[in-house]
Structures are given as structure tokens and as C-alpha cells.
A = this chain, B = another copy of it.
Amino acid sequence: MATDKDGITPRAKDYGQWYLDVIKRADLAEHSGVRGCMVIKPHGYAIWEKMQRELDDRFKATGHVNAYFPLLIPISYLSKEEKHAAGFAKECAVVTHHRLKTIDGKVAVDPESLLEEPLIIRPTSETVIWAQYKNWIQSYRDLPLLINQWANVVRWEMRTRLFLRTAEFLWQEGHTAHATEKEAREETWRMLDVYADFAENVMATPVVKGRKSPAERFAGAFETLTIEGMMQDGKALQMGTSHYLGQNFSKAADVQFLNKEGKLEHPHATSWGVTTRLVGALIMTHSDDTGLVLPPKLAPIQVVIVPIHKTDEERVKVVEEARKVAAELKEQGLAVRVDDREGIMPGAKYYEWEAKGVPIRLEIGPKDLEKGSLCLVRRFMAEKPGETPEELRKRRKTFPPRAEAIASIKPTLDAMQKELLERARAFRAARTRVVDTIEDFEAYFKDPNAGFAWVHWAGEAKDEEQMAKRFETSVRCLPFEDQIPADARGEGKCLLTGKPSSQRVVMARAY
């Protein structure tokens, strides 16, 4: 367990170490003894549960239902769709035997239990789900089929990073089937909008919506849409993707339906997913050198109440008051915790809950009881121009009368949710440049914390590789028209090749 002696490396000093320190201090996750696999600790998992609930409600509101498909996929399934196989038949966990035996107290693989056909642990489920859809789809009446799965997947990874890249991770994967290309493409856009709405209005993380370049498409997709967020080191993070798969998978799995005219057709498919990587995105968008900062909508504990006392007599009274206040806040539907642990000083408790990102802290001492007031401390607050850290800290702490304090919690949390989004938007704006020449591009990306560059681009895959080699940047997306800032609109010429370009793209370094 981390003690309050463990500090957090400042972001400005070492961003990578800061990220790990925040995770450790907030007690979100850690590496396991199993290569590449992480353990999501209770506080981290509680955030993921909140995300799941919000997303699941949105999936259901758009007509989707959940189901569950096998973890294991016969390798012959992969061979059916050529591009998909090329993309996913790589680093994965392969099951080859089905029995162990104990020899001299040591456990070993029983060689006689070799499987006829090896199985892989799903890296994604298109092939195994479409094999099943063959039984489910016969007529246009069976369409659209709108199914989502919450599951674990494994993609063997050599270099791992908590939440951002691990061999096993948790995700949801939507897999839908439609009678027409038009309907399927609409679904692809609809789900990207669901993700963008979740990112902005729940995670308080602004995103750019757009298309992936052919080089970055999902293996087997006709089109991949993406939302891209900006982290505090200026790097882009792909936060969710939605794919139009055409008839690739329905043909590979031999799925056909009778259309209204009585003719056999292959349905059109989509798939879309977000992962536990979003917890990493959340950390890197909002947190500070004190630890985790959480948007109130995703905070497993929204208000922590810390009773302060010296004598036993005081303790009884303030703890009683703390419980009363907690009960009143819980009635408002708020997630509240009274921290009446003994043997831990109030200061250590403040430190712990700030590191864990609890948005509001109430301190209740004997003097507050006397005065009929509460001490309310906000985890963060937008800085005013020219304000010193000391002034800001004072402003974060107020002493409203009890009733007023209790009535103010909900509006304060709403305000904090908005402030975080505004702060993230301002941060992104400050790290975004419209760039027209390769020289300006080079100059901009000399800064290791450079952000997004809006550039004209008409290069091919090999040109993208060249940019990656020179600047470590990539085309994050071809943004939808309504995503393009006013000063970046219009046609132009590719900054590398000089070829004509119809619109700008977002280039950035990325996770």
C-alpha cells in the first residue's frame, strides 16, 4: 500500500513516470505476475463500472441488446476473411492442449491432450459472431440485428503500459447486421456519435471525429471511423472506433437473407468498440500533480466526509453529524463516503482522497458543529488569470452554512463537470496549430509536447511511414467537415508531396 510519503513526479518533469505515479497513488491498477496482464484494482474497476453503465444505457437507448459469444476461436475461422486473417493472425494466445497432469508433484501439459484444431483466445469476435449469425439471419425481418458484447480479449503484446496497452483488456464490441449498405453506414456513424457524446459529456474529454486513413483501417473493414482525444503531453489517443465492414464477414461466414423482393443477399455489417484504455485516457486528460482528477459523473465516490476531532466526546458528535450529512446527500442520489477510520490523521485522509480524485471533500469539526456550517473543499477549480496557487487553494475551500452547503453539492458537481470539459477544450486549443509547410511542421514538432497539426495531406502509405520516421507523427484522422476549425477549412496542397488535397487532416504523435 502506498503511504502518504510517496510523492507524485510532476508532469513537467517526467510525464511517463507521472502517469504511473498517479495510477499507483490513486490505487487504480498494477502489473500482475502474468506476462502482459494487468490487475484492475477496486478503485480503477469502479471507474470502469461507471463507464460501462453510461455506455450500456446509451447502447440500449439506441436499440441494442447484449449477448455473449465464445472466448475461443478455431483458427480455421480466421482463414475465412483474408484481410482480417492478415491483421489478426499474428500475436495471440493459442490454446493447443486441453489437459494437465501432475508428475512428481509438478504440474505439466499432458502431451496426449493435443487438440485437433488449435484455438485462439479472441482478439476480436467478428469471425465467431458471424459464424453464429448464420443461424440467426434468414429474412429481412431478422434485420437489423443489433448486438453488443461486454468481454475480455487478448492480443499478445511485448511492451505493455497500464490501461493503454496490455495483453488482456476489457471492452465492449458491437456487431450489427443490416439489409442495406446505407443502414449499416448510418449505424457506423450513430455509434461514433454515441462514443463522442460519452467522451465529451461524461468523460469531459473533447474529441475530433473523423475517418481513419486506409493504412490505419481495422483489418477487414471498408471504413473505420474514430474519435481522437488529446492527452496532457499533447499526444493523440484513439478513444473509440466504429467500422463499416461491408459484406466481407457475411460472405466469409456464408450468411444470406431473403430480401423483400424474395432474393438472397448478404447482409452489411458494422462493428464498434471501446476498451479499458478509456480509463488511461481519463487519467491523462484531467489529472494533476496531486493525483487523479475525476469528472463527477465517473467518480465512484463523489463526496467524502472527514470528521475531525481530538477528544472521544468530540468524535461521537462529529461522526454522528457526518453520518447525517451523508444520509441527506445519499437521498439526493450522490455517492458519499464517511471516512471515520481511526488512527489516520485528517491530513493523510485529505491527501489520499485528493490522490483518488474525489471531487468534493467535506470536513466537519467541533467548530463547524458550533457554527452550523461545513467546510467544503473542491478537488479542482479553474484558475483565474494571474492567480497564485495559494489564492486558488483558498478559493477551493469555503465555509457555507450547513443547509446551503448541502444544497450546493449537486450544482457544484455539475459546474465541475463543465469546467473540466472547458479546461480540456482550452488545453487542446492552445496545442493546436494550422501548419502549411514541412519546415513549420518540423519546427512545431521539435517540441516533444506539441499537439495537433491541421495539415493538408495527400500522401500514400509510404509517405505516412516517412512522416512517422522523421517526426513520430501519424495521420490521426480525416475529420468530418463539421469538426474542422474555421481557420483550417478549404482545399490546399499536401505539405509533403505537394499534391492537391481537398481537406486538412489531423497529424500528431499518438499512444
Please report A residues at the B interface, Cβ cutoff 8 Å: 1, 30, 32-34, 37-42, 45-46, 48-49, 65-79, 82, 85-86, 89-102, 105-109, 113, 118-121, 128, 131-132, 135-136, 138, 141-142, 147, 151-152, 154, 156, 168, 170, 343
Contacts and interface: CB of A to CB of B under 8 A. Distances in A.
30 contacts: A1-B142, A30-B132, A32-B128, A32-B132, A33-B77, A33-B131, A33-B132, A34-B73, A34-B128, A39-B68, A39-B69, A39-B132, A40-B68, A42-B67, A42-B147, A45-B67, A46-B65, A71-B152, A75-B108, A75-B109, A89-B107, A90-B101, A92-B98, A92-B99, A94-B95, A95-B95, A96-B96, A96-B97, A98-B156, A109-B118
Residue picked from A76, A86, A120, most chain B C-beta under 10 Å: A120
A132 to B, nearest CB: 5
A91 B101 CA distance: 9
Contact of A102 (B37, B70, B77, B85): B85
A301 to B, nearest CB: 11
Contacts of A131: 32-33
Contacts of A71: 37, 121, 152, 154, 168
B170 A32 contact: no
B101 A89 contact: yes
Contacts of A92: 98-100
Contacts of A49: 66
Given A39-B70, A42-B65, A107-B85, A120 B96 contact: no
A74 B131 CA distance: 31
A98 B89 contact: no
**A-B pairs with the 5 shortest C-beta distances?**
A37-B70, A42-B65, A40-B68, A94-B97, A89-B100
A484 to B, nearest CB: 39
B100 A78 contact: yes
A320 B97 CA distance: 58
A99 B89 CA distance: 7
Residue picked from A67, A101, A147, A151, most chain B C-beta under 10 Å: A67
Contacts of A30: 132, 135
A82 B105 contact: yes
A508 B154 CA distance: 42
A48 to B, nearest CB: 8
Contact of A76 (B66, B75, B102, B107): B107
A457 to B, nearest CB: 31
Contacts of A46: 65-66
A91 B98 contact: yes
Given A34-B119, A45-B68, 12 more contacts: A30-B132, A30-B135, A46-B65, A70-B168, A72-B168, A85-B102, A89-B100, A92-B98, A94-B95, A94-B98, A96-B97, A99-B156
Contacts of A105: 79, 82, 85
A263 to B, nearest CB: 19
Residue picked from A34, A102, A154, most chain B C-beta under 10 Å: A34
A75 B37 contact: no
Given A67-B42, A70-B37, A71-B154, A99 B90 contact: yes
A152 B154 CA distance: 13
A461 to B, nearest CB: 20
Nearest to A93: B95
A408 B230 CA distance: 54
Nearest to A137: B1
Nearest to A108: B75
A67 B40 contact: yes
A87 B79 CA distance: 37
A71 B100 CA distance: 17
Contacts of A65: 42, 45-46
Given A32-B69, A79-B107, A106-B79, A94 B100 contact: yes
A75 B94 contact: no
Nearest to A154: B71
Contact of A66 (B42, B108, B135, B142): B42
A235 to B, nearest CB: 26
A192 to B, nearest CB: 23
A70 B482 CA distance: 42
B89 A67 contact: no
Given A34-B73, A136-B1, A66 B86 contact: no
Contact of A89 (B41, B102, B135): B102
Contacts of A41: 67
Contacts of A67: 39-42, 45
A25 to B, nearest CB: 15
Contact of A94 (B32, B109, B138, B142): B109
Contacts of A1: 136, 138, 142
A105 B89 CA distance: 11
